Amino acid sequence: MDQNKLIVSNWKMNLNLSDSKKLINKLIKSTFKKKPYLKNIICPQFLLIPSISNLIKDSHLLLGAQNCHFERKGAFTGESSIELLKQFNCKYVILGHSERRLYSADSNLLVKKKIKIAISEEIKPIVCIGEPLEFRKNKSYLKFLEQQLNECVPECSEIIIAYEPIWSIGTGLVPDYEEIYEVQNYVKSFLKNNKFIKKISVLYGGSVSSNNIAHIIKKSKVDGALIGGSSLDDKEILKIISIL
Ligand code: PGA
């Protein structure tokens, strides 16, 4: 593996304080730090961020959040600010995940605002796009993805897109490598129309495991993976890392 790859753990609303610390300690001790081409980014629940930030301080691990608010501060009960993410050393933030689009009504417009505020604080957005199954079946998925890209991505110099087909998340179903390749190629060529963008990375997410990671990365030519379920299990995530 000669190019930089991003392995993003999306813990979602899982792991308590002690289990998250155990997992982080195992990752810190792993031989993974000898793979400088891999960026291992951990995205825990908000309340875990302060302790994880402290634990990984001198390690090879990087910290990300699973969401951010689009305003800097104010009367937004129950929200957490981008300023705090920055203070706790979050370098990345996952935005527009399909679960947030579904359960928290994150629209393309809202995602765009969140991307802008993240970039203004030098936190790199990992922007999720992905089609529901019917759009894959009727072959209109590229149009669907194009609309998401069009409406979400602002003028910016660098962007990370995570292609996560909704039908693949947590289901064990993974698109063919050619299908992932097609999308990553499409995303890169579509975003080249945005004259401000200098660097585009495309990740794949959806049922990534130690059984499919090698093929996904090599055959689909993606720049990394966004990993949900498999990132919660120390043996599985360490196996994934060891394969790369
Ligand atoms: P999964 O989730 O790996 O459990 O399918 C991926 C994601 O939702 O980011």
User: In angstroms, what is the span from residue 74 Cα to ligand 1's centroid?
Assistant: 32
Picking from 64, 53, 79, the residue whose alpha carbon sits closest to that of residue 227 is 64
Q: How far is CA 57 from the centre of its chain?
A: 21
Question: What's the confidence (pLDDT) of residue 36?
Answer: 85
From the candidates 83, 131, 164, 236, give the one annotated as an active-site residue: 164
User: Which of 5, 82, 98 lies closest to 49, judged by CA?
Assistant: 82
Nearest-CA residue for atom 1 of ligand 1: 228
DSSP three-state, residue 181: helix
pTM beyond 0.95 = yes
Distance between Cα 44 and ligand 1 center (Å): 13
Cβ atoms within 10 A of the Cβ of 44, count?
25
Query: Would residue 121 show up in a list of annotated catalytic residues for this protein?
Result: no
Taking the centre of ligand 1 as the mean of its atom positions, its distance from the CA of residue 226, in whole angstroms, is 7
- C-alpha dihedral, 211 to 212 to 214 to 220, nearest 10°: 170
Q: Given the CA of residue 230, which atom of ligand 1 is nearest to it?
A: 3
**Ligand 1 proximity of 225 Cβ (cutoff 6 Å):** no
Residue 97 falls in the annotated catalytic set: yes
- Residue 74 CB coordination number (10 Å): 8
Ligand 1 in contact with 14 (CB < 6 A)?
no
Residue 127 contacts residue 97 (beta carbons within 8 Å): no
- Whether the per-residue pLDDT at 16 is higher than 70: the answer is yes
Looking from the CA of residue 94, the nearest atom of ligand 1 is 9
Spatial distance between the Cα atoms of 194 and 222, rounded to a whole number of angstroms: 20
Residue 107 token pair: 């629209």
φ/ψ of 6, rounded to 5, equals -105, 125
DSSP bridge pairs for 224: 6
Tokens describing residue 12: 């979602």
Is 70 exceeded by the pLDDT of residue 1? Answer: no
Is any ligand 1 atom within 6 A of the Cβ of residue 206?
yes
Confidence class for position 185, pLDDT limits 50, 70, 90: very high
| Helix boundaries (H) for the chain | 17-29, 49-55, 82-87, 98-103, 108-120, 133-137, 141-152, 177-191, 213-219, 234-243
| Triad 202, 128, 30: Cα angle to 5° | 65
Instruction: Note the pLDDT tens digit of each residue in 197-230.
Output: 999 999 999 999 999 999 999 899 999 999 999 9
DSSP strand pairing (224-227 vs 199-205): parallel
Q: Is 208 in the pocket of ligand 1 (CB under 6 A)?
A: yes
Which segment of 15-19, 32-36, 212-216, 233-237 scores lowest on mean pLDDT? Answer: 32-36
* Active-site position among 71, 79, 97, 178: 97
